[in-house]
Homo-oligomer: A and B are copies of this chain.
Amino acid sequence: MTQELQRFFNENEQGILEEILLHRRDVRGNHFKKDIISEENIDRILQAGLSAPSVGFSQPWEFVLIHNEETKEAVRATFQKENEKAVHQFSDVKKQEYIKLKLEGITEAPLNMAVFYKPKKEPVLGQTSMPNMGKYSVVCAIQNMWLMARSLNIGMGWVSILDPEQVKQILNAPSENQLIGYLCFGYTDMFYNKPELELKKWDYKKLQEEVVIQEKYT
């Protein structure tokens, strides 16, 4: 491999990546528009997922593209049920904030995507000591798609208040598949300039010095 083949990124390109990282948001149903996402853009989002790193190059992912309204309604019903259970877990103060939040955009988003981890029967290079690595590879694919979508000015929301087994049943998924993420994609009327839960003071933004440790814990 010669030096000419190396891609060297410059200051301007680094700045563009930083802007995409900073402007990526979790988008919910109150901001999705109905406009269809073109096949070309769906392909660009999927290709971003397929270029993610995977442990031992196992690429242990499957992506189910969902446009069907009945499927979305069925998934939304499991959200509803799980969300009702969830709210009771929070303290009284938090509960009042919680119920005001719109936490998904399943039926409002023109495109839903269920992303599965498909375990392999054979051992996977790099996964022998840390069995979760395959699932983490799938998460890397989701994050790549999230960033690609944002660069295409398409919002994405990750819905995790769901019973994964119910979603598998709705999608007729093979029993060995494990749901990692249920994603909603669509154009938006706006993107918040900060995380919505930061703006709504659900929690504060941590500073770098709070989460960075030098060399080892004391």
Contacts and interface: CB of A to CB of B under 8 A. Distances in A.
B61 A6 contact: no
Among A21, A191, A214, max chain B CB count under 10 A is at A21
Contacts of A16: 9, 13, 16-17
Interface in A24-42: 24, 26
A106 to B, nearest CB: 14
A195 B57 contact: yes
A148 interface: yes
A214 B197 CA distance: 33
Interface residues of A, number: 108
Contacts of A73: none
Contact of A65 (B58, B136, B205, B215): B215
Contact of A160 (B55, B85, B172): B55
A64 B173 CA distance: 39
Contacts of A136: 135-136, 139, 142, 180-181
A89 B100 CA distance: 51
B160 A127 contact: yes
Interface of A: 1, 3, 5-9, 13-14, 16-24, 26, 43-44, 46-48, 50-53, 55-59, 61-68, 71, 82, 85-86, 89-91, 98, 101, 103, 122-123, 125-130, 132-133, 135-136, 139-140, 142-144, 146-148, 150-153, 158, 160-164, 170-174, 180-181, 190-193, 195, 197-198, 202-203, 205-206, 208, 211-218
